C-alpha cells in the first residue's frame, strides 16, 4: 500500500489569541528537555471537566503557549512555528553513518489489533536490543499514577501518558544514536493519547479542544518533527482478534481506526497500513523488515 501523507495540522487558536502577549514573555523549553507538566485545565478554552479533582486544577493559569508566532501566516501549513527551541544539530559532515541511518518505527492502532504481539516478534526477529525497544508506556503510567479504565476520557491521564511516552522516545533515540544502533522500535507513540482524547470526548467541540491542548504542547511539537521523518505502521482491526484487554474501551473499533487516520493525516505524519489481508505473524514481520531496512518497497 502506498504511503499515506496527509496535510499538516491546522490548529484553532482563536480562543487563545487574547493570551499572546503573556505567552511571548515566557521562556521556551529545549527540545532535548521534555516538559513534564501534565495538562489539567481547559479554563482558558471555556471548558471544565466535571470529574477533574481540585488538587489537579491550576487556578485558571494557561498551560499551553500559542502555536503560531505573532506575524506568522496562519493560513499556510508551512508557517507552523513550534514554540520550543531546537537544540543545535550535529553538522552532517561530523555525523557517523549510524547517526544518519537511525530509523524510528512506531506501531499504532486500535485496541486488540496485535500491536504488542507484532512488536515482540519484530524485536526478536531483528535481535533488537531491549534499550532500543519501547514497550507500552500507557499501562506503566496507569499503574504508577493510579489511573483506571474509567479515567481514559480524562485529559490529565492522556497528557501524562503522552509526556511519559515522548520522554521515553527522546531518551531511547539519544541512547541509540550514541551506541550506533540503526533502529528504534516503539509499541505505540505520542499520537495515541491524542486519538483517545478525541474518541472519549462528549462532542465535536470538546474533541477539538482536547486535541489542541495535547498537540499544541511544546514537547509534542518537538516530537512532531521526528514523527514526520519516522515510519508509522497503522494496524487495521481484525474482527476475530477483538477481545477485552481490561484496559482500553472496546467500543467502536472502526471509528477508532478512522480517528487514527484522521489525526495522522492532520499532523502530516506519513504512515502505512496492514490488516485482515495480512494476518500471518511471520508474513507481517518479514514485510516490516523489508520496509524499514529499505531492502524492498513492499506493497499491499
pLDDT tens digits for range 19-68: 444 444 444 444 554 444 554 444 334 444 444 433 333 333 333 333 32
Pairing mode, strands 103-108 and 133-134: unpaired
Grouping H, G, I as helix, E, B as strand and the rest as coil, residue 168 is helix
- Residue 187 in domain: yes
- Residue 21 in domain: no
In whole angstroms, what is the distance from residue 32 CA to residue 39 CA?
Answer: 20
pLDDT at 224 over 70: yes
- Residue 60 in domain: no
pTM of the predicted model, to two decimals?
A: 0.70
Number of domains, the chain: 1
How many other C-beta atoms can be found within 10 angstroms of the C-beta atom of residue 231? 20
- Residue 182 in domain: yes
Q: Which domain holds residue 238?
A: 102-292
Listed in sequence order, the DSSP H helices in 179-217 are: 192-199, 204-215
Residue 95 backbone phi and psi in degrees, to 5:
-75, 145
- Residue 188 in domain: yes
Which pLDDT belongs to residue 256? 94
Q: Tell me what the mean pLDDT of segment 124-150 comes to.
A: 95
Per-chain mean pLDDT for the chain: 75
Interval 227-274: pLDDT, tens: 999 999 999 999 888 876 554 445 578 899 999 999 999 999 999 999
Q: Which one, of 248, 220, 260, 246, lies nearest residue 6 by Cα?
A: 260
Query: What is the CATH classification number for the domain harbouring 194?
Result: 3.40.50.300
Q: Which residue has the cell 478554552?
A: 45
- Residue 286 in domain: yes
Residue 291 backbone phi and psi in degrees, to 5:
-70, -50
- Residue 147 in domain: yes
Interval 160-198: pLDDT, tens: 999 999 999 999 999 999 999 999 999 999 999 999 999
| Contact predicate 266/7, CB 8 Å | yes
C-alpha cell at 93: 559532515
Q: Torsion over CA of 35, 56, 192 and 169, rounded to 10 degrees?
A: 30
pLDDT at 148 over 90: yes
pLDDT at 150 over 60: yes
- Residue 27 in domain: no
Amino acid at each position: 500500500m502506498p504511503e499515506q501523507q496527509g496535510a499538516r495540522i491546522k490548529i484553532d487558536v482563536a480562543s487563545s489569541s487574547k493570551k499572546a502577549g503573556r505567552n511571548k514573555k515566557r521562556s521556551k523549553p529545549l527540545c532535548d528537555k521534555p516538559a513534564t507538566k501534565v495538562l489539567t485545565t481547559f479554563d482558558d478554552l471555556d471548558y471544565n471537566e466535571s470529574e477533574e479533582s481540585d488538587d489537579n486544577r491550576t487556578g485558571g493559569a494557561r498551560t499551553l503557549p500559542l502555536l503560531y508566532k505573532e506575524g506568522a501566516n496562519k493560513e499556510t501549513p508551512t508557517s507552523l512555528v513550534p514554540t520550543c527551541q531546537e537544540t543545535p544539530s550535529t553538522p552532517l559532515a561530523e555525523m557517523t553513518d549510524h547517526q544518519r541511518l537511525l530509523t524510528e518505527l512506531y506501531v499504532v492502532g486500535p485496541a486488540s489489533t496485535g500491536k504488542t504481539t507484532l512488536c515482540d516478534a519484530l524485536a526478536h526477529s531483528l535481535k533488537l536490543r531491549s534499550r532500543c525497544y519501547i514497550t507500552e508506556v500507557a499501562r506503566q503510567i496507569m499503574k504508577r499514577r493510579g489511573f483506571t479504565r474509567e479515567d481514559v476520557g480524562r485529559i490529565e491521564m492522556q497528557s501524562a501518558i503522552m509526556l511519559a511516552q515522548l520522554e521515553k522516545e527522546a531518551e531511547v533515540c539519544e541512547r541509540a544514536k550514541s551506541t550506533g544502533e540503526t533502529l528504534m522500535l516503539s509499541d505505540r507513540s505520542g499520537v495515541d493519547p491524542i486519538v483517545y482524547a478525541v474518541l472519549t470526548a462528549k462532542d465535536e467541540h470538546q474533541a477539538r479542544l482536547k486535541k489542541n491542548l495535547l498537540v499544541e504542547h511544546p514537547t509534542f511539537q518537538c516530537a512532531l518533527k521526528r514523527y514526520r521523518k519516522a515510519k508509522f505502521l497503522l494496524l487495521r482491526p481484525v474482527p476475530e482478534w477483538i477481545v477485552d484487554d481490561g484496559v482500553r474501551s472496546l467500543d467502536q473499533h472502526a471509528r477508532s481506526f478512522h480517528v487514527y487516520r484522521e489525526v495522522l493525516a492532520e499532523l502530516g505524519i506519513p504512515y502505512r497500513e496492514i490488516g485482515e489481508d495480512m494476518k500471518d505473524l511471520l508474513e507481517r514481520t518479514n514485510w516490516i523488515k523489508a520496509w524499514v531496512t529499505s531492502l524492498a518497497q513492499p506493497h499491499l
